[in-house]
Amino acid sequence: MMLIGESGATKSSWGIAGKPETLFTTRGFRGTQSTSEDIYKILQEVKEQFETASSINEIHLFCSGCLTDEPNQRVRSLLHQVFPSIRNSAVYSDLHAAGISTLKNHTGLGIILGTGSVAFEWDGRNPVRVFGGKGFPGGDFAGGADLGLRLLQCDHKEIISFLTKDEYELVQQLTSKKQLIPGEVGQLAKPVIRNKQNPLLKKLITRALIDFMAEIPSDRAYSRIGVSGSIGTFLQDELQEFFHSSTLFFTPSPIHSLLTQS
């Protein structure tokens, strides 16, 4: 059996190739930021989902932060430690997952808008130019954490009507924190998306998207644009306005496409 995984900062999704009904999720990890110990523990959680882990002989993992060799090899080594029976393994970046699931073998611009954000030029097989993805809080514009941070920076009196009780308590907690964690701040993207037609929040989203677009060089146009990630899916209309001359393809989570294409 081939196990396919797709991991971002917030969550990881896993399933058996050709069997989308086997899909399950665990905590997320990134090749560049997560410790080997954390990644090992999460992979152990994955292993525990199977009565006979030895039946898995191949693993393909698409992981945030694994575009370069060092984190790629580290994560691949951990896969073999947890699943010693596997004969074949491959670790790709989350950019590969996004490109394969939305643009397939066509060239175009790939966009990931999840907790973080990044854009990349796709040549039909690999990302060849990467734009943005500079991290939180000084980058990752229009991702969930960035939208949450922008909301947090608003006058609290102006946004209180948009928040549930739990969300308001989260705002209060984060306001007093010295160091903000992307996954926590990203929870505040929910009221932004939920109330995106409100003039204040509509302007907030527009400014975030303008900052994101500024990361993408204007030296060429893209007829095809693939957008993955939950935030990208929720902002379909807004993205269509920015890329009105292009054909856009959306998927909230590439894992479904990866499981069925394999």
Beta-bridge partners for 110: 120, 226
Of 3.40.50.720, 3.40.980.10, 3.30.420.40, 1.20.1050.140, the CATH number of 2-96 is 3.30.420.40
d(CA 165, CA 162): 10
Inter-axis angle of helices 144-152 and 165-175, nearest 10: 80
CATH 3.30.420.40 occupies which residues in the chain? 2-96
Inter-axis angle of helices 69-82 and 36-47, nearest 10: 40
pLDDT at position 260, please? 86
pTM: 0.90
pLDDT at position 134, please? 87
Mean pLDDT by 10 residues, the chain (262 residues): 89 92 92 92 92 80 93 95 92 95 96 94 96 89 97 94 95 91 93 96 97 91 94 96 93 89 66
Contact 225, 213 (CB under 8 A): no
d(CA 61, CA 47): 14
pLDDT at position 54, please? 64
Contact 212, 238 (CB under 8 A): no
d(CA 158, CA 60): 46
Tell me the residue ranges of DSSP E strands in 68-200.
88-93, 108-113, 117-122, 127-131
Contact 216, 109 (CB under 8 A): yes
pLDDT at position 214, please? 95
Exposed e or buried b per residue across 160-179, where buried means at least 16 C-beta atoms within 10 angstroms of its C-beta: eebbeeebeebbeebeeeee
Contact 9, 229 (CB under 8 A): no
d(CA 93, CA 8): 10
